[in-house]
Structure 1
Amino acid sequence: MSEALIVWGGWNGHEPEQCAGLIAEMLREDGFSVALENSTQAFADPAIASLDLIVPIYTMGKIAKEEVENLSRAVRGGVGLAGYHGGMGDAFREAVEYQFMCGGQWVAHPGNIIDYRVTIRCADDPIMQGVNDFDYRSEQYYMHVDPSNEVLATTTFSGTHAPWIEGVVMPVVWKRRHGQGRVFYSSLGHVAKEFEVPQMRTILKRGMLWAARNAS
């Protein structure tokens, strides 16, 4: 049986505990054994190197040097890493090693909760198959991103809330490698309610399954 670890905490506005429960349910539906922890100390445990998947849900917060080093080592060794929105993309702002592994970092969401459109860039990728361009209401993440990411979906900023970024095309969903490990990220999913959006849920679930060790 595949083993996954979800580590939740940080800023409560992203409803980390509720979302951790939803993700645990999603993974168990696909046969995973899931452990949930609410402290970054879990990342320092050498045993995480034997896991198949790690899902951080920890907006902001802090991570100790030995914790991030052990997490990075585990992913480089083949453990999958997958996450969404601020839970993975705005975690541990001072930890550049963590950002290097994830492939990006949140820096702004002009206008806060707004309507925007998600454009599918790789319709033939298994994660995105059958998902068409769709409208979404949430925070439209502006991120600093790694050019080595394989971008699967994007959004275009209108400039309504920040005129100087009008027309900027920003990655929304990507996958990448970190050593031997697969890394997946989606910026969709501000709060638990957004898991009811079929496209958001489908993309995240497929991305987690892709990232898991020994995935096809």
Structure 2
Amino acid sequence: MTPKSALIFWGGWEGHEPEACSLIVERMLADEGFAVRREPGTEVLAEADLGAFDLIVPLITQAQVAPGALQNLIAAVEAGTGLGGFHGGMGDAFRNEPAYQFMTGGQWVAHPGNIIDYRVQVTRPDDPVMAGIGDFDYRSEQYFLHVDPSIEVLATTTFDGTHAPWTRGTVMPVVWKHRYGAARVFYSALGHVAAEFDHPQMRQILRRGLVWAAR
């Protein structure tokens, strides 16, 4: 049986430790039986056979991408290549590209207070991605995102307004999935730096979500 194939492209803002995180995700997917290709930058997105991958993982923040390469990525996903990722590596990859954001289902806009303690509430314990995972405490950036109202939300967080009083009581998606064309798309806002992979719920949710998203 031919193994599933995955592409990880990484880079951008170094504060998210993209290379270190890409190596962790590469090992995670390899352990799941994927043949993994890991590439720096966005040049790989221009390759003609991008749609041959079963899964693409963006792990790049605040980057620029050539229009043709972006359209190639979008076309591959719309045709059925899965898309999955986390935190700013997927949720703030291409800040100036609304077509990319339409595909992912959301875009980062703020993290009031920067690194803080907050709680993640599981809203879909019946979903296989979240099975056996209850609500949990987390310390990281609490992402405030602009999101597509049609996403299927698997977990949320509630802003208490300490660092931006007008956000008090706002319930924000943390983990979601949705469909884009023929593809499955998965996103988790957790995972600011590589050390956060030591958090068991963060790691388990991402692993399951990436496997779910793959064609």
TM-score range, shorter chain: over 0.9
TM-score for both structures, normalised by structure 1: 0.98
Q: Provide the rounded CA distance (Å) in 1 between the counterparts of 2:41 and 2:138.
A: 31
Q: 2:27 aligns to what?
A: 25
Q: Provide the rounded CA distance (Å) in 1 between the counterparts of 2:115 and 2:154.
A: 23
Larger deviation, residues 59-68 vs 138-147: 59-68
Q: Provide the rounded CA distance (Å) in 2 between the counterparts of 1:83 and 1:148.
A: 18
AA aligned to 2:52 is S
Q: Provide the rounded CA distance (Å) in 2 between the counterparts of 1:38 and 1:47.
A: 18
Q: 1:132 aligns to what?
A: 134
Q: Where in structure 1 do 4 or more consecutive aligned residues deviate above 6 Å?
A: none
Percent identity between the two aligned chains: 62
AA aligned to 2:206 is L
Q: 2:101 aligns to what?
A: 99
Q: Provide the rounded CA distance (Å) in 1 between the counterparts of 2:155 and 2:176.
A: 7
Cα RMSD (Å): 0.4
Q: 1:51 aligns to what?
A: 53
| Residue 109 in structure 1 maps to residue 131 in structure 2 | no
AA aligned to 1:28 is A
| Residue 77 in structure 1 maps to residue 79 in structure 2 | yes
TM-score for both structures, normalised by structure 2: 0.98
Q: 2:192 aligns to what?
A: 190
Q: Provide the rounded CA distance (Å) in 1 between the counterparts of 2:113 and 2:47.
A: 40
Q: Provide the rounded CA distance (Å) in 1 between the counterparts of 2:153 and 2:66.
A: 30
Give deviations 1:112-167, integer Å, cap 9, x for gaps.
00000000000000000000000000000000000010000000000000000100
AA aligned to 2:155 is A
Q: How many pairs align?
A: 213
1:48 shift after superposition: 1.1
1:64 shift after superposition: 1.2
Q: Provide the rounded CA distance (Å) in 1 between the counterparts of 2:177 and 2:46.
A: 24
Give deviations 1:44-74, integer Å, cap 9, x for gaps.
1121111100000001111111111000000
Structure 1, gaps ≥5 residues long = none
Q: 1:64 aligns to what?
A: 66
Q: Provide the rounded CA distance (Å) in 1 between the counterparts of 2:56 and 2:34.
A: 12
Structure 2, gaps ≥5 residues long = none
1:89 shift after superposition: 0.2
SS of match in other structure, 2:49: helix
SS of match in other structure, 1:56: strand
1:6 to 5, 8, 23: 8
